[in-house]
Amino acid sequence: MRNSDRQVSVLFVCMGNICRSPTGEGVFRHYVKAAGYEDRIQIDSAGTIGYHTGNHADRRMCAAAEKRGYSLDSIARQVTIDDIENFDLIVAMDVENLENLDYLVGRRLPHIRMLGSFLDDSDDPVMGRSVPDPYYGGDAGFEAVLDMIEAACPAMLEHCLSLSADQ
């Protein structure tokens, strides 16, 4: 029997969980709430390394997000095997982190995709363009991250709703 109200869980993953993945979490949460689906989609973020565990998102990323009306409230943590087993959709920000996730579980899993696969210019259901790491760059890098994540939100929401309907 189908349950169209089944909650779907999404995990955004970058390297340190202080720039791109908390932005994915915050922007997508905002988008999902505005669309009226916040009770159906659980959103979190993590990093493939634990170096920044316990830290808030990068202050420059927070400032750029705040200018667009987003709040980045997550605390950095490292992705776990349990995350990979329990989340319905895992969104890696770039090829390196996608490969790190594959390595962690020993194979490519169908529910792990790159954010770029949700962009209009992508015809690849897994890969797509990488979201560039803005950490060592200037303000334009943080804006580019926001642009890409905002552009991917409609397709990510559609995908999540299809996952909910498939159950």
Q: Choose the catalytic residue: 19, 20, 113, 160.
A: 20
Active-site residue, 123 included: no
For tokens 């669309």, the residue is 35
End-to-end alpha carbon distance in the chain: 8
Q: Choose the catalytic residue: 44, 133, 153, 160.
A: 133
Active-site residue, 58 included: no
Amino acid identity at 55 = N
Choose among 41, 14, 25, 23: nearest CA to 160: 41
Phi, psi of 13 (to 5 degrees): -135, 130
Structure tokens at 133: 């790491």
Q: Do residues 21 and 53 lie in contact, with contact meaning Cβ atoms separated by under 8 Å?
A: no
C-alpha to C-alpha distances, 59 to 18, 71, 131, 142, nearest whole angstrom: 9, 11, 19, 11
For the chain, state the CA radius of gyration: 15
Active-site residue, 14 included: yes
Give me the active site residues, please: 14, 20, 133
